[in-house]
Amino acid sequence: MADFFQPAEVVTLPHLAAPPPPDAALQARLRSAGAALLLPAHADECGRPAFENILRQSAAVPWLTHRIICMNGLPEQRLPEVRADLAQRLSGSAAQAILLRPEAHELQPLWRAVSAEGRSGGASVEFGKGANIWLATAWLLAQGGGGWVISHDCDLVNPPPDLLWRLCLPLVHPEIGLRWVKASYARVAAGRLYGRMTRLLVLPLLRAVTDVLGPTPATERLSAFRYPLAGEFASRLEDLGQLRIAPGWGLEIAMLGEVSRRLPPDALGQVDLGFHYDHRHRPTEGETAGDGLALPAREVARAILREVLRDAEPRAAEALSALLVTRYAVRAEEWRQRYRRVSLANGLDPADAEELACVRCFSAALTEVAAGHDLGPARDLPPPAEWLAAHPEQAELLRQIRPLTPPT
């Protein structure tokens, strides 16, 4: 039997049957108000089968009005080649295509202004997924549009053809009427469970925080989401424009905190997209410090603790510093054993050695984060709508960016 459980904090839409495709009236509504696909990408994605498949599938979606590829890490010398390739791949669709490059020379005044006002902790803006989502949202707002935004990661190997519609449906269906939804799905590949950071860091860490502090608003909110680190979401553009956007690996946790504070529970949803979705998998220990899971684990743990301490009593940080790592060790082993049973019950490899290595990696990362009370500056980017209202010259700068393909 499918899961009918409904947490109090978020509307949960399980996958029980194939949703009906959008009828003519809904497609007209989407095209009239605007429906943008946002693809935050790194230049390394170019040429990979996952990225090419996403572009090919999105070209067949008749109700999209924009396809925005915001790509960091793209060297200047590769820009003409990548632009030409994307323009060819994205032509022939009714949706306007745009390539945004955060490192572009013409955008540096924008980033300097963001940093100068201390909106990112006074440091230079970190280019990555967070900055990509911020820039794409700002570009859409600068065009004066509205409607909806659907974002999904560019390393998703096997998305079904109806993924975009299944994410968008709860927002545009007149009798559902949600304002922000997040995807959830199982991570199974090569005969074993993945989703290691959610299963073995986020979920046991939230329980460990509750052990130390008792229930908190942040732990209640975050625990309600089945897959809090999923990169796929859909939102009304108006609401997305009001969110502070975190850079780095803490983006998904920080965004859940933002939308949970700004929107009522009955406006938030999570959509079960099914199972066996496959992303690119990072090794537990990489060849360099940034290749493995240690850096993402530190940033995710730091984002969770920031959310917890935002609403907590003044002495909460001291209690967490003293007790959290010990409680996490207990909860992580409990969760590892739970998912070992899940694997065995489904005929999957429990991958004991790899799972234990993950717990050791995450425990070391948490020890580093929890060792002191100072979690460092948040470095969040300001709400795009607020920023553009205060800096109209930046909106004009964004409007001057040349699209890959014109609207049809």
Pick from 119, 240, 268: which is nearest to 184 by CA? Answer: 268
Task: Please state, as a whole number, how many other Cβ atoms lie within 10 Å of the Cβ of residue 212.
Answer: 18
406 residue type, one letter: P
Half-sphere exposure at residue 172, Cβ-oriented, CA atoms within 13 angstroms: 29
Q: Residue 96, SS3?
A: strand
* pLDDT higher than 50, residue 258: yes
Q: Rounded distance, CA 322 to CA 213, Å?
A: 12
* pLDDT higher than 60, residue 124: yes
β-pairing verdict for 188-189 and 180-184: unpaired
Q: Rounded distance, CA 191 to CA 128, Å?
A: 31
Q: What is the mean pLDDT of residues 323-337?
A: 97
Determine the pLDDT at residue 275: 66
Q: Residue 176, SS3?
A: coil
User: Which conformational region is residue 40 in: left (phi greater than 0), alpha (psi within -120 to 50 degrees), or beta?
Assistant: beta
Percentage of residues in the chain having pLDDT higher than 70: 92
Q: What is the mean pLDDT of residues 66-83?
A: 95
Q: Phi first, then psi: give them for residue 98, nearest 5 degrees.
A: -140, 135
Q: What is the mean pLDDT of residues 232-247?
A: 96
Yes or no: say if 213 and 308 are a contact pair by the CB < 8 Å rule.
Answer: yes
Q: Which pLDDT tens digit goes with each residue over 206-225?
A: 999 999 999 999 999 999 99
pLDDT band at 18 (very low <50, low <70, confident <90, very high): confident
Determine the pLDDT at residue 1: 43
Determine the pLDDT at residue 13: 95
pTM for this structure? 0.93
Pick from 258, 3, 49, 317: which is nearest to 137 by CA? Answer: 258
Determine the pLDDT at residue 372: 60
DSSP per-residue codes, 25-68? HHHHHHHHH-EEEEEEEEGGGTT-HHHHHHHHHHHT-TT--EEE
Determine the pLDDT at residue 11: 95
Q: Residue 269, SS3?
A: strand
Q: Which pLDDT tens digit goes with each residue over 166-218?
A: 999 999 999 999 999 999 988 888 899 999 999 999 999 999 999 999 999 99
Q: Phi first, then psi: give them for residue 31, nearest 5 degrees.
A: -70, -35
The CATH number of 11-399, from 2.40.50.140, 3.30.160.100, 3.10.450.50, 3.90.550.10, is 3.90.550.10
Q: Give Cβ neighbours of residue 84 (< 8 Å, ≥ 6 apart).
A: none
150-161 as b/e, with b when 16 or more CB fall inside 10 Å? bbbbbbbeebee
Q: Residue 303, SS3?
A: helix
Q: Which pLDDT tens digit goes with each residue over 308-318?
A: 998 888 889 88
Question: What token pair was written down for 172?
Answer: 């545009």
Determine the pLDDT at residue 161: 84
Please report, in angstroms and rounded to a whole number, the separation of the first and last CA atoms in the chain: 45
* pLDDT higher than 90, residue 338: yes
Determine the pLDDT at residue 134: 97
390 residue type, one letter: A
pLDDT band at 287 (very low <50, low <70, confident <90, very high): very low
Domain spans of the chain, in order of start = 11-399
Q: Phi first, then psi: give them for residue 78, nearest 5 degrees.
A: -90, -10
* pLDDT higher than 60, residue 373: no
Q: Rounded distance, CA 97 to CA 69, Å?
A: 8
Q: Where are the alpha helices (DSSP H) in 288-345?
A: 294-310, 316-345
Mean pLDDT of the chain: 90
DSSP state of 126: P
* pLDDT higher than 90, residue 337: yes
Q: Rounded distance, CA 101 to CA 94, Å?
A: 23
Question: What token pair was written down for 402?
Answer: 């040349």
Q: Rounded distance, CA 173 to CA 185, Å?
A: 22
